[in-house]
Structure 1
Amino acid sequence: MADSFTIYWARDRAEALKSLPKTAGMSKVLYGGPHQSQPSFRRAGVKAGDLVYPISISHGRLQILGMVSVNTIVDAADVMPSQFGLHVQNNNEQWILDSGWPEEFFYKVLCVTCVDEALLALTHDGPFDALYLSEQATDKLTFQNRRSMRKPKGVEDGKIKMSLPFQGIYRLSTASADAFSQAVRGYET
């Protein structure tokens, strides 16, 4: 059975996403690594067939930035040069082309630094402009690991008081995954 996950994108990445040309669509590639700002999909247990929702926090509300259905996760070296860096001059690099995004947006939104894996999308939706999880769904939001479920700290009356409990990649409970799916379906109609 497929699982659903969130991955937190800091405000600067979410803001850069807003300036992406609407024709570009959500990226076909998301990058992961060893750090909290760019966490590992593999370590979080993401696998083929799962859904990943990039999220951010805006004015105390949980913003859904997009949705990606996972095809596979590969080593980043299989997608981009081993000497990765923000100084790359050639915009014809395969890993930028694979993302489907213009080079300047690729750097601002997708690729920060210290990446060692790439999630390749089977399907992708977004980026969504101003798609927020309802206050009621935010209040009931629950993350699930292999042993237990937990509500993120800092959520009061459907408002998020701090972003730290959302930073990383987290598996959603079935009810929370349904709330995300409903929000996306409602946005698309």
Structure 2
Amino acid sequence: MPNSYTTLWTNDLCRELERSGYGGSRPTMLFGGAHPSLPSFLRAGVKPGDLIHPVRVLRTRLHVLGAMEVSRILPYEDAGSLLHDDDYAKLLDWKPLKVGCVSEVVVGPPGAPLDFDTVVPPELLERLTFTSRRGERSLKYVEDGRLTRSVSLQGIYRLAPESAAELHRLVLECANGRASTSKHRLISGGRS
């Protein structure tokens, strides 16, 4: 059974992606490495078929930015020779995600569109649970539905199945809502 993971993106990276017009883009590449600011997906136990949810913490709120299924994980130095030309072009498209010392490339089919406004509701934030070989743990530093510190999200962490399902449902609801809004704008001639 596939697992779901979170990976924390910095607010600086999210602002850069927003400024560069990546909102609504469907990620096909993610990058990992050995540095805490760009952690290793392989070391976290990520495998093909797993789902990655990029998240950010902004003003005590947890935002889920989207989701991407993992097809394969490649050594970065071999990506040029292992990727098909179309996929190599996608590698270049997602260059802003390459922050720090990159050692691996996570490749997948187009994921859920990036949405920088999707806030995890306080009640879900309080229930959010992660799992590891040591057992399950709740998200730390949650007070009154707010996340006071992001330290317990820094890295790549496997979600407990119930939390994974709820987080993914939130991503899909937001993606479907965005698609409905775009369709409505097209039908109404650009006005909503």
TM-score exceeds 0.5: yes
Q: In the alignment, what sits opposite 1:138?
A: 125
Report the CA distance between 1:14 and its aligned residue.
1.2
Report the CA distance between 1:138 and its aligned residue.
0.4
Q: Please give the alpha-carbon distance, in whole angstroms, between the structure 2 residues aligned to 1:13 and 1:96.
A: 22
- Does 2:137 correspond to 1:150? yes
Total equivalences in the alignment: 173
Report the CA distance between 1:16 and its aligned residue.
1.3
Unaligned runs of 5+ in 1: 82-92
Q: Please give the alpha-carbon distance, in whole angstroms, between the structure 2 residues aligned to 1:80 and 1:137.
A: 40
Q: In the alignment, what sits opposite 2:95?
A: 106
Report the CA distance between 1:134 and its aligned residue.
0.9
Q: Please give the alpha-carbon distance, in whole angstroms, between the structure 2 residues aligned to 1:21 and 1:48.
A: 28
Paired amino acid for 2:69:
S
Q: Please give the alpha-carbon distance, in whole angstroms, between the structure 2 residues aligned to 1:23 and 1:9.
A: 14
SS in 2 for 1:18: helix
In the superposition, relative to structure 1, how do residues 148 and 14 fare at CA in structure 2: closer, same or farther (>3 Å)? same
SS in 2 for 1:43: coil
RMSD value, Cα = 2.2
Paired amino acid for 1:6:
T
In the superposition, relative to structure 1, how do residues 158 and 54 fare at CA in structure 2: closer, same or farther (>3 Å)? same
Unaligned runs of 5+ in 2: 177-192
Q: In the alignment, what sits opposite 1:84?
A: none
Report the CA distance between 1:18 and its aligned residue.
1.4
Write the mapping of 1:160-179 to structure 2, written as runs, cut at 5 A. 160-179=147-166
* Percent of pairs with identical residues: 32
Which protein is bigger by CA-based radius of gyration?
2
Q: In the alignment, what sits opposite 2:29?
A: 29
Q: Please give the alpha-carbon distance, in whole angstroms, between the structure 1 residues aligned to 2:79 and 2:175.
A: 30
Describe the superposition over 1:130-162 as per-residue Cα deviations: whole angstroms up to 9, x where unpaired.
Answer: 011111000111110023011122111221000
SS in 1 for 2:69: strand
In the superposition, relative to structure 1, how do residues 24 and 139 fare at CA in structure 2: closer, same or farther (>3 Å)? closer
Q: In the alignment, what sits opposite 2:15?
A: 15
TM-score (norm 2): 0.83
